[in-house]
Structure 1
Amino acid sequence: MSHAVMLVIAMLLDATLGEPKWLWDPVPHPAVMIGRAIGWAEARLNQGDARFAKGLALVSTLVVGAWVIGCVLGAFGWVVEVMLAAVLLAQRSLVDHVQAVGDGLRVSLGDGRRAVAKIVSRDTGAMDQSAVTRSAIESAAENLSDGVIAPAFWFLIGGLPGLLIYKAVNTADSMIGYRTPRYEQFGKAAAKLDDVLNWIPARLTAGLIAIVHWVMAEWAAIRSDAALHRSPNAGWPEAAMARALGVAIAGPRAYGGEMRDFPFVNGFGRTALGPDDIDAACAALWRTWALALAIVLAFSLF
């Protein structure tokens, strides 16, 4: 069975079932297991001299290990590959988490803040309704790329080994790929490799969003806004989502009590935002997913 056919099935399973609580309460999620392995290694290696070399060794081990595990598990047949691919895609869970922010805001600002705190790393305690909404929309766009399109892309290219390599590197980047005194050297290899693996998927995600929302004519503006982002990749889906919804996102926010003056994306868009905009972002996630599914389905026919 081709990777494209398996991916179609996996995408449909993920969209239908998501991440059922009854399964992942007793059994660790594969991404959690990868994270635990990285945390164990980081605690032992990220000290002393040659931290960059140690971090590079960790990332190299993750890549080789993911490839070996993917090949071994893939040998058990297409059912195992499809089930693991469905588990490692995150469309349904992404929509659920983003929608929870909108639902929370409809109850109270405090509920909205608590919900968005589960999906962003910035300070949320002093956010107003618009800031909460912007954060949810940004997370929706970025994680559509990292959690759905990129894993699907690498499964299509490299099957289960390709998907596992991507998830291992992406998880490492999310844990140690920071420019802080602790991680600057140790996490540099993970951050750079994650940038490479996400280069095509991020731009592909932006294109898919733009196509289904009829804003491809604004591609030059999307590219310009994407360049404002501190990440070489995350700005692309965020810029496309902002244009698709006609809103301004990003902008100043606080981390660890320190306010950072980041530029707005689509600065001429609406800035007074609320739960209805989160509903629109969730609808955009599904429309973009549907186009991606149609493209993979087309590949499967050939």
Structure 2
Amino acid sequence: MGLFTTIVVIIVAVGIDLVVGEPPNRFHPVAWMGSVIGWARRVCPKRGEWMRFLWGGTIVGVGCVIVGGIGWALDALGEWILGEWVGNRGQVTQVVTWIAVVGGQAVVLKCCFGIRSLDRAARSVLSCLQRQDDAAARQQLGYHLVSRQVDLLSAAEISAATIESVSENTSDSVVAPLFFYVLGGLPAALIYRYVNTCDAMLGYRTTELEWLGKCAARCDDLLNWIPARITAGLIMIASPTSALCAWRTWWQDSRRTTSPNAGHPMSAAAGALGVCLQKSDHYRLGARLREPLSMDIASMLALFARTVTLAVLLACVSKALIGWLVLRGTI
């Protein structure tokens, strides 16, 4: 599709996510992906590490081919409608058709984002903490944002975990889908979302999933390598008054997490907010900084909004630059 159309699709998709939020699961492509992954997990070989590894690789590979093919078909259909089908029709028909194609593409792309849902989940934890209802805050945190054990977390640890989740998911749910859409359209964005969903469901070091989810985890690490670092940079830029602290903490602590990517946006956010983010027996980001308070969740959400705005602007500018280079024959 044309450069202008692609940029409009990005803006409309983000707008739909902000206004509408998540559709019901029966209409949500990511929920469909999850259902298929869940089925494949249930029927996987019960014995043999290599058999489970190969089965996990098959889940990732076959799924990527399918969702990538669907994305390619949707892109090709949009190109055909705008390029050939609508060519000899009246101006009104052309405008209406263009709006319909943009809307359809934007709805599919929107399903790769989680901006409003992430904001609402964090606000639900914040609301509980403000009421001094730590038990409810733990429940909301464990249900919406983290997979770790939450039963014994203090208010400061709840705040830290919420900030960590929002910062990490700024990459997974916003920057990475935009990055891959800019590079490869709907096929790339959908493949990324599928791999990320595989990792979310299978990428755990448990007896059952150690080998089954290994391929998904490694592929997700690879796909998120650049977006995680872009996210950290955007967080730093979105915090002009604390950019130096964000950069210093990012530089010093980004490699302290087990994940090769999660530590980048989390450490940048820790420095930007001036708080220490700690997961007991795992990592401590910004060790010299103070413990987070509930009000820091609100600050993180404001930072999240600024970072999302910068990410959308960067995606649009990058797409325009790529289009200009293509027209010049540079790439």
- Give the TM-score of the pair, scaled to structure 2: 0.83
Higher-helix-fraction structure: 2
In structure 1, how many angstroms separate the alpha carbons of the residues matched to 2:156 and 2:197? 29
**Matched residue SS, 2:111:** helix
Q: Over alpha carbons, which structure has the higher Rg? A: 2
May I ask how many residue pairs the two structures share in their alignment? 289
Which stretch of the first structure deviates more once superposed, 234-243 or 72-81? 72-81
Q: What residue in structure 1 maps to residue 275 of structure 2?
A: 247
Structure 2 stretches lacking a partner, 5+ long = 79-101, 322-331
Matched-pair contact (CA < 8 Å) for 2:175–2:231: yes
- In structure 1, give the amino acid aligned to 2:59: L
Kindly state the Cα deviation for residue 109 of structure 1 after the two structures are TM-superposed: 1.5
Matched-pair contact (CA < 8 Å) for 1:155–1:162: yes
In structure 1, how many angstroms separate the alpha carbons of the residues matched to 2:202 and 2:15? 32
Is 1:102 aligned to residue 126 of structure 2? yes
Q: Alpha-carbon deviations, 1:228-255, whole Å to 9, x = none?
A: 0000000000000000100001230xxx
Corresponding residue to 1:84 among 96, 100, 108: 108
In structure 1, how many angstroms separate the alpha carbons of the residues matched to 2:124 and 2:110? 22
**Matched residue SS, 1:264:** strand
In structure 1, how many angstroms separate the alpha carbons of the residues matched to 2:205 and 2:268? 26
Alignment of 1:188-203 (within 5 A): 188-203=214-229
Matched-pair contact (CA < 8 Å) for 2:30–2:111: no
* RMSD over aligned Cα atoms: 1.7
Matched-pair contact (CA < 8 Å) for 1:8–1:296: no
Q: What residue in structure 2 maps to residue 112 of structure 1?
A: 137
Which stretch of the first structure deviates more once superposed, 47-56 or 64-73? 47-56
Cα 1:30/1:84, change in 2 over 3 Å = same
Corresponding residue to 2:17 among 10, 14, 19: 14
- Give the TM-score of the pair, scaled to structure 1: 0.90
Is 1:293 aligned to residue 312 of structure 2? yes
In structure 2, how many angstroms separate the alpha carbons of the residues matched to 1:171 and 1:301? 29
Q: What residue in structure 2 maps to residue 269 of structure 1?
A: 289
- In structure 1, give the amino acid aligned to 2:269: M
**Matched residue SS, 1:88:** coil
Structure 1 stretches lacking a partner, 5+ long = 253-260
- In structure 2, give the amino acid aligned to 1:277: D
Kindly state the Cα deviation for residue 24 of structure 1 after the two structures are TM-superposed: 0.9
In structure 2, how many angstroms separate the alpha carbons of the residues matched to 1:54 and 1:6? 36
Q: Alpha-carbon deviations, 1:44-63, whole Å to 9, x = none?
A: 12423322122112211011
Matched-pair contact (CA < 8 Å) for 1:209–1:288: yes
Q: Alpha-carbon deviations, 1:36-83, whole Å to 9, x = none?
A: 101111111242332212211221101111111112233443332111
Q: Alpha-carbon deviations, 1:227-286, whole Å to 9, x = none?
A: 00000000000000000100001230xxxxxxxx12210011111x33211100110100
- In structure 1, give the amino acid aligned to 2:253: D
In structure 1, how many angstroms separate the alpha carbons of the residues matched to 2:320 and 2:255? 37
**Matched residue SS, 1:269:** coil
Matched-pair contact (CA < 8 Å) for 2:249–2:268: no
Matched-pair contact (CA < 8 Å) for 1:212–1:288: yes
Which stretch of the first structure deviates more once superposed, 29-38 or 66-75? 66-75
- In structure 2, give the amino acid aligned to 1:15: L
**Matched residue SS, 1:132:** helix
Between the aligned residues of both structures, percent identity stands at 35
In structure 2, how many angstroms separate the alpha carbons of the residues matched to 1:217 and 1:125? 35
Matched-pair contact (CA < 8 Å) for 1:141–1:241: yes
Kindly state the Cα deviation for residue 222 of structure 1 after the two structures are TM-superposed: 0.8
In structure 1, how many angstroms separate the alpha carbons of the residues matched to 2:312 and 2:165? 21
Higher relative contact order (CA 8 A, sep 6+): 1
In structure 1, how many angstroms separate the alpha carbons of the residues matched to 2:168 and 2:220? 14
Q: What residue in structure 1 maps to residue 55 of structure 2?
A: 54
Is 1:24 aligned to residue 50 of structure 2? no
**Matched residue SS, 2:270:** helix
Which stretch of the first structure deviates more once superposed, 7-16 or 238-247? 7-16
